[in-house]
Amino acid sequence: MTLFREKAVTTRKIALVAILAAVAVALSPLVSFPLGFAKPFPIQHMVNAIAGVLLGPWYAILIAVIVGFIRNILGTGSPLAFPGGIFGGLVVGLVHRYFLRKDYAALFEPIGTGPIGATVSAYIVGPWAFQAGLLKSLGTLEVLMTSFLASSITGSVLGFIVLKVMRRTGLWA
């Protein structure tokens, strides 16, 4: 009996991973906005907020990697999509798991994306991507932090709203 229940839960989680990744990829050409060398994407942060709360940190990271990879292939993202997305989902998932077992954990996404993601982008991914020819210019930490925070604050609020709607309509208990 327990084995079947575990398989059902895992299948449900995998299905949500696919749906969230598909939503993020489908909306990426419509909602991202070029800001110098970065392409901030509030929908990624919305997805991070939802995934971190509903699925946990590791699934949120998986979704961010999948979406970042596909967005880069399609040309709707940049290499900065990886640190910009991964750390936001990680922080939401960890905050939800260990500190705040409520949907409000979604609002912590900018902490992972802003200070952590922007710093990793400015000092590790950005210089590597510029040297490899994947970015045309480099930005400062302040520019990255501003653009990442603008995108992630908007996205985390959207994610929080979507979570509330999902709970009220019974899409996710």
Query: Which residue do the tokens 């705040």 mark?
Result: 100
The predicted structure's pLDDT at residue 150: 87
DSSP string, 41-60: -HHHHHHHHHHHHHT-HHHH
For residues 117-128, average pLDDT: 80
User: What CA–CA distance (Å, rounded) separates 86 from 112?
Assistant: 8
Digit-coded pLDDT (tens) for 38-81: 667 789 999 999 999 999 999 999 999 999 999 889 887 778 78
The predicted structure's pLDDT at residue 67: 93
Give all domains of the chain, ordered by start, each with its CATH number: 2-169 (1.10.1760.20)
Whether the pLDDT of residue 126 is over 80: the answer is no
Q: Judge contact between 22 and 52, C-beta under 8 A.
A: no
Task: For the chain, give the percent of residues with pLDDT over 90.
Answer: 49
The residue count for the chain: 173
Q: Identify the residue with better confidence: 124 or 130.
A: 124
User: What CA–CA distance (Å, rounded) separates 124 from 160?
Assistant: 30
Which tokens sit at 126?
């950005």
The predicted structure's pLDDT at residue 50: 96
What are residue 111's DSSP bridge partners?
none
The predicted structure's pLDDT at residue 35: 64
b/e code 3-33 from CB counts within 10 Å (16+ = b): eeeeeeeeeeeeebbeebbebbbebbeebbe
Whether the pLDDT of residue 3 is over 80: the answer is no
DSSP single-letter state for residue 35: B
Digit-coded pLDDT (tens) for 83-120: 888 999 999 999 999 998 899 999 999 999 989 998 88
User: What CA–CA distance (Å, rounded) separates 44 from 81?
Assistant: 9
